[in-house]
Structure 1
Amino acid sequence: MPDWQLSRTFDSPQGAIRWDRFGSGTPIVLLHGTPNWSFLWRNVVPTLSAQHTVYVFDWPGFGWSDRFAGQNISWDEQARRLPELFTHWGLHAPTVVAFDFAPVFALRAHFFEGLEIGALVLADAAVIPPFVSDFSRLARENIATMRLLPTHIAEAAIAAHLRRTTYHPMPPDVLDGYLAPWRGDDGVAAYWRAVARYDEDLAAPLVPRLGQLTMPVRLLWGAADAWLPLDKAHQLAAAIPGASLRLIPEAGHFSPEDAPDAFAREVLAFP
């Protein structure tokens, strides 16, 4: 597995959050989605950190942050972690790059927790329902059954799900990197806990508020995103005043994985 470690810890109400900081300059905060973790950003960080201070972390319940039974990783609770982290880091209104489901957390933090965001990049963004994939929807609706699957069967299903996220086939070591937190009995249990909290009802109140966004907003989208097709990108762009949409060629849903250099260049060129 490619090496990716986060060296610092923040103690949150939902357990320890692993995080790290790279480079120097004006701050950029990178928010991963699901079923990925901060590993997604490993090839984006070097380009961004040549000009900026870049903050990355794993949400509670993901990656190497704490994961435990009974942990509250609902989407409204995850949104409360951002103001806490910004205070811990001494940040005010940085640029935020939110990928996949993380735009729900960032937007809820902005609208309902008063979080100031200077500029916002929404990447392959799950904001306008419906957006939960068929596999994840089926798993959530049958979560008790999914939890009974033998660990090796569950791992194989998660791996098959992840293979659909990229335009270019993932090398085995990269797939292993994405799968690492979800392996074994504890990892599979953490995966199903995350899926059980997928809740489009917590995204729905954001949709009528999108027109209230006043910071610069850019949408980045993998041109071959099979999970969130381009009509979702156009819907979102139409709902946000002044938002610009940029497509990343030869990139699937995990656009930072397929095309990290192109992704980073788009972030550097914004706002």
Structure 2
Amino acid sequence: MSKDKTVNAASVAATPASQSSEAFACTQAAHDAVGFIEIDEVLTLRRMAIRAPAPKGTVLFLHGFPETLTVWNGIATTLAHDYDVHAFDWPGYGQSSRPASERFSYAPRAYAQVLKAYIDRAGIDRSKLVIYATDIGALPVLLLALDEPTIARQIIVGDFAPFDRPQYMWENLQNLKAEPTASPTRAYMNKTSDEILQNVHRRGLSPDEQFDLPADVQQDMTRSWSLDGMTSADAFAHYYANFTGDQHYLEANLTWLKTPVKVIWGEKDIYITREMGIEFAAKIGAKVDILSGIGHFPHLHNPKQMVEEIRTSFR
């Protein structure tokens, strides 16, 4: 694997002449900031780290299924004028390690420990850190916050399943939670990987609301679906095999959640409906923003709004 590297935002701050050149500059800046960081003898993560010339704080982005760190490219390079920005591929995704499940469980609690190790090894100042976590990234950061309330100055979460409420979840997600439906669902997801990668971000949206992924994001997700004998669907299935117990643990220990949390949710999320987010926010006494006309991937659907959410969290 390549040597770890970071890039300073000042080196890519030139104003482009057109929208197409701006998109190219963002993609190139994010590409230049990508390297690898070793977590332990089993796990090495591909990560992106962009350094601001005079950072006002640090932002760490945590992706969901079936994403990779490339989903943050545009948002990261925009924010990196004012903030240090980090993102990494979860184990089982992108170009990060994919050990056998006997060596790494892929459980939300295991991901929580990966997150802790990353923050420590990257030398991030927790007092100036905002974490935005979506989908599979959100439960791990909340589990970590139960044990370490100072893990961040604020956590922003959305479009995930904090509680065991199958009625708020898409049928295939319900089916992954236990046998006998889990194994056939995993096999079906692997069989239909092309369709998932092409349409996962479009489902539930009207034709006028649907959008295309940036080419570099689509290519990286496709290229990274299968690596070292494991697919992203396999990692997702391992995560879900441990999911219910970790959901129960979070709900039973919510009184220990002291880190400031904000909840945002796509109004049209069909995978995990907004009722889940509303209930979670009410239980922890947090603010919840339901984003009109947005589906499961707010950061892809309306990245400008996500940039403003992050900036607001530092005010």
- Counting matched residue pairs gives 267
**Equivalence for 1:158:** 196
Question: 2:273 and 2:188 mapped to 1: Cα distance?
Answer: 30
Structure 1-normalised TM-score? 0.84
Unaligned runs of 5+ in 2: 1-23
**Equivalence for 1:194:** 236
Question: 2:306 and 2:133 mapped to 1: Cα distance?
Answer: 12
Equivalent in 276, 295, 307 of residue 232 of structure 1: 276
Larger Rg: 2
Unaligned runs of 5+ in 1: none
RMSD in angstroms over aligned alpha carbons?
A: 2.9
- Residue 9 to residue 150, structure 1, CA distance change in 2 (3 Å): closer
Equivalent in 44, 47, 60 of residue 29 of structure 1: 60
1:63-82 matches, cutoff 5 A: 63-70=94-101, 71-72=103-104, 73-82=106-115
**Equivalence for 1:258:** 301
The question of 1:20 aligning with 2:61 is answered no
Shift of 1:175: 4.5
Give a deviation string over 1:145-201, Cα, whole Å, max 9, x none: 4676696x33245347614457433427454543332258946x4422321331221
Given that 1:221 and 1:246 are in contact with CA atoms closer than 8 Å, whether structure 2 keeps it comes out as yes
Give a deviation string over 1:222-254, Cα, whole Å, max 9, x none: 12211122211210110113x111222321001
Given that 2:62 and 2:132 are in contact with CA atoms closer than 8 Å, whether structure 1 keeps it comes out as yes
Equivalent in 36, 39, 43 of residue 70 of structure 2: 39
Question: 1:67 and 1:31 mapped to 2: Cα distance?
Answer: 17
Given that 2:226 and 2:232 are in contact with CA atoms closer than 8 Å, whether structure 1 keeps it comes out as no
Equivalent in 178, 193, 215 of residue 259 of structure 2: 215
State the identity %: 19
Equivalent in 159, 178, 183 of residue 221 of structure 2: 178
The question of 1:104 aligning with 2:139 is answered yes
- Residue 68 to residue 184, structure 1, CA distance change in 2 (3 Å): closer
